[in-house]
Amino acid sequence: MKTLVLFSSADHQGNTAKVIERVASLATLEVVNIDKLTITGYNYANQYPEDDFYPLVEKMLAADNIVLASPNYWHAPTAPMKALIDRITELTDVDALKPKGRALAGKNGLVLTSSAVSEICPIYDQIFARFFEYFDMPYAGKLHADCSDGIKIDQQQLQDFLHILNRQSAVVS
C-alpha cells in the first residue's frame, strides 16, 4: 500500500512533524510538505498559472492512502491545507479533470493531527470527513496527538492507524 502524507504546519519541526516521524518509523510513507509548494488558490474561472498542483494530484492518484496532516489551529487545519482542499475542487469543475477527481474514489483518506487537547476537535474532524465523503474516499482513520504536555499518542489509535496503512497488524513498542 502506497501512503502519501500531505503535511502543513507553521512549525515544520513541530509536534505534527514529530508525530509523522513516529509513524514513518513504523510504516513506509512519502511525505510532501505542501507549504513548500506553489499551489494557486481556487477560482471559479479555473484559470491558473503553472504551479505544483497538477504534479501533486498525480502523486495523490498514485497513492492508496492519502494522509492529510496538519495541526489544529482554531478548530481548522492550516491555511495552506485548506487552500489545497479548496483547489481540489477544480477536479470537479473542469471536464478534462473530472476523471482525476473520480479516480480519488476508493482511496483511503486519513487524518493526522496534533493539538493541546486530548481529543480531535469535532469541527476540525468534520472538515476532513466532508472532504473525503465528497470524493467518495473512505475516511479510513485518524491519529491525534495530545501535545498539552509533551506528545501523547494513544497506542491503540496508533496501532489502528498503522493497520490501515500497512493492511496488516503492526507491532508497536
Distance CA 73, CA 76 (A): 5
Distance CA 40, CA 62 (A): 22
pTM of the model: 0.93
* pLDDT by 10s per residue, the chain, length 173: 899 999 999 999 999 999 999 999 999 999 999 999 999 999 999 999 999 999 999 999 999 999 999 999 989 999 999 999 999 999 999 999 999 999 999 999 999 999 999 999 999 999 999 999 999 999 999 999 999 999 999 999 999 999 999 874 344 43
Q: At a CB cut-off of 8 Å and minimum separation 6, what does 105 contact?
A: 135, 136, 137
